[in-house]
Structure 1
């Protein structure tokens, strides 16, 4: 007898799962659910750039590997490679392998290694989900758990918005790395736009992507559910989800929401489409009625918590949610059946599902026009109204994103085939950036993926996800409505997040990536199992191939993740000791242990090098100096774009008096940090100092080389400043980048000492300032007047102003003018 929900596909898989394995199967499912709940609060398992984010990633890989071992134990005897669905379990292995391949060109060995682990985690989750989600009961449990976790995250976010920081922190502080001093870090994100709700993600736009996916899942689940209490629950959560979405102040979320809504409508029958509109409209109206008081109360409660105001706000929210839930329930009980009956004949017509989505486009245009072009937006709080008002293609965040994408394209052209490794954008963006912005993410998942794994890896990834989506939609169209609904939640999750990832870095959060691959696995589980013509292996052969590959991967991943957890423990211990102890050997011991496991870990390597540097400073022992230099040189082989290491090595060289080596390093790395104003200011200063020293020693060749480099560096800054003037009006420059008085002074001196008097005069003139009490400004004026005197010219007003400060300035000007170079 075929399964009434999943059809022939599940019939075969149900028989394939022996009753004796049911306990293990349930253990695996519960383990996955608990793992997801834990993951959601581990600073969202961010991509591991910093020491405190490492442990959650390594724990995640270790736990997933153990769950995968349990999965192999349950399903080993049923492994076959006979259908397209089966071969997806092999194809997904190519995703981490493309990251392994990109290690050849890795801009950061540390970040690239972390990304290999993360991609392996995703692959294991995908494979487990294909098997697990073919089981009717397990599918229901995992879907319900995902929705439950989402509702917990929404509640957690609103607790923080309404001032209950400490209470929220206590709820999860016993297991979450994100709780610092009793409060979850950056659950409320503050920037130039004011307070923005971020919940567990610490970034409002990613939270908005998450909320959008589960808003649509809540509507879908309410319509699909037959039970009264589940309909009430999903209806109740609509207002909190939409409220949270608005409180993120995410323009990306608001812009992409109608696009995702339109895509989802295309896969629904007309009656369901109308119900989606009804429930979206009712919950949106309910949210707007409470938005102003809860927004205002939240802003006040974040400054000063008041129990009465918090209670009043919660009461308003709960009442509004209950009213909306009741209205949705009544509609679902009495209106929905009649609606489906009346539209049944229409639904059978060809292209019947297109008309309402097309109408939604027109409705979106009308609503957008009202909110963006009229006073209707004044019903919204000022913070949200202002964000809506600023939605346009000349708005700075849009222009900045376009710049990121252009810079990513430049990076890709240098690493086109296999990419620059995991974390490539983070390591390299300063080398390719168009202006001095600060962004360790490219704000586009697909562009970031492209620069990490190159064209080969990107094509493999795109082919993989397009194939999964295509086969799922193909199977969806061929099935009856009840069968369609069984895995539609997974489509909503993956599609919503990936669409929003076109404009942001949501997939850099490992928890979000896990949700996407759970979704992809769920869609793959719902595919029709079409036999492959040429690639076919029976149970024994498939088990041999897959167990070999999986076995090697499991052993490697488990060993690596456990060793990295040990290394992370040692690194954290070393950092803690460095802030509390003065004992060199005590601090050094855990750092040595970390570096014995991962020899070029940036944090531990730089900390240990700084200890050696201190030792050299205090004792002048050459062994300390040599050890520090060797450490940093080794580190730069693996992390050639790590600015901190370069600066530290330059500092050690200069401490020792190895100025030529320090200068060579500073000049060599200048092209990696083209908008670092301080870097170029120091390069210009060192060019003058060393050039002047060579001049005094009579080494004209070295003098010319230093001065040429210094003047070229100055010209780089001049050209950069001119380039920044060409930025679109709405685009922010980013970090300061300007010609400083120190740059002008040293560049002017170099031109003067190169006997380029017209050049020196013109350059120094740009630095003349009103305030001559400043020592640098005064020196610029001296050299400028001296250069004029050599050209038989005079700026009498400036001369008199300078002499008025001190009569000795006249002698100093004459002394400079008489210098013979």
Structure 2
């Protein structure tokens, strides 16, 4: 294998070397792959049918390209140098993920990560051999830059109101465009409006922009063509403005770190030019960022009830002004950069060129830039200079400190990740291990499916063995690249430096975030590593490595592995397509066979796929409830237990299993599902609430049956768990005041109701009253102060308040109906407890409130039955008319012919009731 030729003899090499057509086809394939990948759902390890198909299609495409590479290079392939062996070793990375599948805590997630790692290895090998050829190296560099610049333009199009045009540009080849708009190219979070372009996550977009800002300035300085100089100079301002619009503190913190490290690789003249060009573009960007930011906010967001919401407010005049500011600043900065390259750069080379050969001359400017960065940071964080920035950006800068909540939260994630590593040290948890296990190990109730540190997450997934191999692979490439850089003329490494910038920038930022959970970012890193490998210091291997048998054996193993991955990809694509077909049918079809057929097909290839298993088991349970045919219940159990074998920590599957036991009449086993898994969902207050619900009902049942052994068993397990909840609440008080707690975690009214009820059963009325005081706050506070606890009237009051609160949300129809469900479930649980008392009889007022809550929680048939039982012929009574109103609305909602006699009597009493019935029936429930 010939060594790459750069520098003085590059042009001669280019003239002699002729690239065959099939190789060009491979190059085109890689470029199209680079264009296609970022516009799929960027977060490739999401747990949903909607996201996963892109993983398998990407693995399929990369596998096909790898097979094409084998066909093109098998005769020329040799293992002569260390760099050739490095490419071969890259195959161990997916092998490690394949091994981790056998010990994975989630087979589904582990397989997804195996596909992604296989794709990375394929891209690395293909890119390595293509980049060895100067002509192809230049083409691929230009293609990577073109894709990057398009992504920047795509993001700014969305920011400045052109989301419809942007959606039309990419909507024909991606499913990430809905109603003409790309998903979350501009997003809203607690910090306000943030630019994300194709990534749906602003911090990862910041890492991308940081990398390509440095690539652009490097390309600008090395360009020998006027159009190259103008193009790269023109993109500097949009890159900096976009970076600021992400509001990413991590991006702003890691930017100077990467900048100083990269300066160390440059000659003094290049260092000066980097600083000057970035300084010009930075000043121009700062001048226009405020108007561009303000206009983008006005075009994309609106304050609704004091909350920033994403709303399309396109205004041609505002959009034009935004583009005028941006393009005008870019044009001015471009003109200055062109003049510097035309006149100042040659002068600098003449004046300082002789000093570049002296030792340590390249250190002074980086050291000086550290001081300069510190001064700039002080000005923008500690002085009024920050006021030249938009308010949202200056606030983010102001909050950069080690007591800031995101810093404290990341430290917590890192500490919790070490707990996982301690329990899974050797082979790790398999791919997606953190997302699967974090609820078991978290210090407080946050919801974070990524560790926010790529290296820790990698260590969790593949264990110490895999992590050591991966870091050895990465560090070896960097070491050999730097070693070669020090030994040779730096001009020989220009192409390699382009790729170093990409890999180093993204990997540095990944110390603070999960950038490599985005497959496109991973592809960029592995292309960067391949480009560095091409020009790294490489010694010859012993002749034994290049024997025909070794070479053919390697290619044979590679081919077999690739063919297997292709077969697996096709299988998974078919399964995912069947699952998506069923998911769409659920909303339009009532046919059991029509729904079941694609789900059975999906589960045939992947029997533990969580979403498909959930859908089929849920359908089976629904049909059983209607027909009482045990075969449907048996199938539901079979599907669930098979899925849980590979997905034992999947919360939804466990809830569905408890539902199965409920239908079987085995409520004690359903309770055990919750009890056994409290350790896995340590901070899920809803999980504890459901456990206490079930425990209270079972304890009441055991008490009624005078089964003291069972009663004591339920009391003991529930109280032990309750003490753990109280301990967790006390632990939350120890968090630093700047750190956010995360999800709500407190004693709720329904928890207090159930625990208090069980304390009464234990004979401890004083403790029960104290528990009520602890949990009955806010809207339920009046019940805590009642002097007559635990009576029928007291329960009825709880049911009434829950119903009223639920109905208030129901009537207002906000975007989020979850409070309606929470309050309604509270009231329904209280009703279940009340119904266990032997002397209890349902009153019309209680039945009305219960029926309303059943209706609002989509239990329409139960609502009809509950309301029908207390209907009377007295339509002069307002309560009875309201019962009839909801009863008829429930029938209408269920598609049942209305009770004509009731309807006629209700309308005769008040004709306006007809409209109210229709209004209730047509109100949104989901």
Pair 1:692 & 2:700 matched: yes
Give secondary structure in 2 for the equivalent of 1:199: coil
Correspondent of 1:476 among 465, 485, 494? 485
Deviations 1:699-738 (A, max 9, x none): 2222111101111121111111111111111111111100
Correspondent of 1:586 among 594, 597, 613? 594
Q: 2-side partners of 1:299 and 1:197: how far apart? A: 10
Maintained 8 Å contact 1:764/1:780 = no
Which stretches in structure 2 are left out of the alignment for 5+ residues? 301-311, 795-833, 839-926
Matched residue, 1:681? 689
Give secondary structure in 2 for the equivalent of 1:591: helix
Q: 2-side partners of 1:768 and 1:379: how far apart? A: 49
Q: 1-side partners of 2:633 and 2:270: how far apart? A: 72
Matched residue, 2:523? 514
Deviations 1:753-779 (A, max 9, x none): 334566556545545669778668759
* 645 and 12 in structure 1: CA distance in 2 versus 1, 3 angstrom threshold: farther
Matched residue, 2:160? 162
Deviation at 1:537, TM superposition (A): 2.2
Give secondary structure in 1 for the equivalent of 2:187: strand
Correspondent of 2:209 among 205, 208, 211? 211
Deviation at 1:104, TM superposition (A): 2.5
Matched residue, 1:802? none
Q: 2-side partners of 1:339 and 1:580: how far apart? A: 71
* 780 and 744 in structure 1: CA distance in 2 versus 1, 3 angstrom threshold: farther
Pair 1:620 & 2:628 matched: yes
Q: How does 1:265-344 map to 2 (within 5 A)?
A: 265-302=263-300, 303-344=312-353
Maintained 8 Å contact 1:236/1:325 = yes
Matched residue, 2:363? 354
* 13 and 470 in structure 1: CA distance in 2 versus 1, 3 angstrom threshold: farther
Q: 2-side partners of 1:179 and 1:617: how far apart? A: 39
Maintained 8 Å contact 1:108/1:424 = yes
Q: 2-side partners of 1:10 and 1:402: how far apart? A: 52
* 689 and 526 in structure 1: CA distance in 2 versus 1, 3 angstrom threshold: same
Deviation at 1:12, TM superposition (A): 11
Deviations 1:402-441 (A, max 9, x none): 1111111111111011000000011111111111111111
* 421 and 14 in structure 1: CA distance in 2 versus 1, 3 angstrom threshold: farther
Maintained 8 Å contact 2:268/2:362 = yes
Deviation at 1:487, TM superposition (A): 1.5
Matched residue, 2:650? 642
Q: 1-side partners of 2:564 and 2:14: how far apart? A: 30
- Deviates most, 252-261 or 751-760: 751-760
Maintained 8 Å contact 2:477/2:529 = yes
Deviations 1:182-235 (A, max 9, x none): 110100010111110000011110000000000000000010011011000000
Q: How does 1:521-536 map to 2 (within 5 A)?
A: 521-533=530-542, 536=544
* 385 and 666 in structure 1: CA distance in 2 versus 1, 3 angstrom threshold: same
Pair 1:485 & 2:486 matched: no
- Deviates most, 694-703 or 709-718: 694-703
Give secondary structure in 1 for the equivalent of 2:194: strand
Maintained 8 Å contact 1:446/1:502 = yes
- Deviates most, 265-274 or 765-774: 765-774
Q: 1-side partners of 2:582 and 2:178: how far apart? A: 20
Q: 1-side partners of 2:281 and 2:238: how far apart? A: 9
Correspondent of 1:456 among 465, 472, 485? 465
Which stretches in structure 1 are left out of the alignment for 5+ residues? 787-811, 817-821
Q: 2-side partners of 1:409 and 1:189: how far apart? A: 32
Deviation at 1:538, TM superposition (A): 2.2
Q: How does 1:22-101 map to 2 (within 5 A)?
A: 22-44=20-42, 46-101=44-99
Give secondary structure in 2 for the equivalent of 1:78: coil
Pair 1:239 & 2:248 matched: no
Q: 2-side partners of 1:401 and 1:206: how far apart? A: 15
Maintained 8 Å contact 2:599/2:612 = yes
Deviation at 1:688, TM superposition (A): 2.1
Pair 1:255 & 2:253 matched: yes
Q: 2-side partners of 1:386 and 1:353: how far apart? A: 36
Matched residue, 2:762? 754
Q: 2-side partners of 1:329 and 1:231: how far apart? A: 7
| TM-score, L = length of structure 1 | 0.92
* 167 and 90 in structure 1: CA distance in 2 versus 1, 3 angstrom threshold: same
Pair 1:5 & 2:6 matched: yes
Matched residue, 2:674? 666
Correspondent of 1:731 among 734, 739, 749? 739
Maintained 8 Å contact 2:240/2:282 = yes
Pair 1:562 & 2:562 matched: no
Pair 1:403 & 2:412 matched: yes
Q: 2-side partners of 1:657 and 1:126: how far apart? A: 56
Q: 1-side partners of 2:750 and 2:5: how far apart? A: 79
Maintained 8 Å contact 2:751/2:775 = no
Pair 1:230 & 2:228 matched: yes
Pair 1:537 & 2:538 matched: no
Deviations 1:248-305 (A, max 9, x none): 0000000000000010001001111111110010000011111111111111122421
Matched residue, 1:153? 151
Tell me how large the CA RMSD over aligned residues is. Answer: 2.4
Maintained 8 Å contact 2:752/2:776 = no
Q: 2-side partners of 1:2 and 1:617: how far apart? A: 71
Give secondary structure in 1 for the equivalent of 2:402: coil
Matched residue, 2:450? 441
Q: 2-side partners of 1:460 and 1:43: how far apart? A: 29
Maintained 8 Å contact 1:10/1:135 = no
What number of residue pairs does the alignment pair up?
A: 785
Deviation at 1:337, TM superposition (A): 1.3
Pair 1:366 & 2:346 matched: no
Deviation at 1:678, TM superposition (A): 1.1
Pair 1:178 & 2:186 matched: no
* 613 and 14 in structure 1: CA distance in 2 versus 1, 3 angstrom threshold: farther
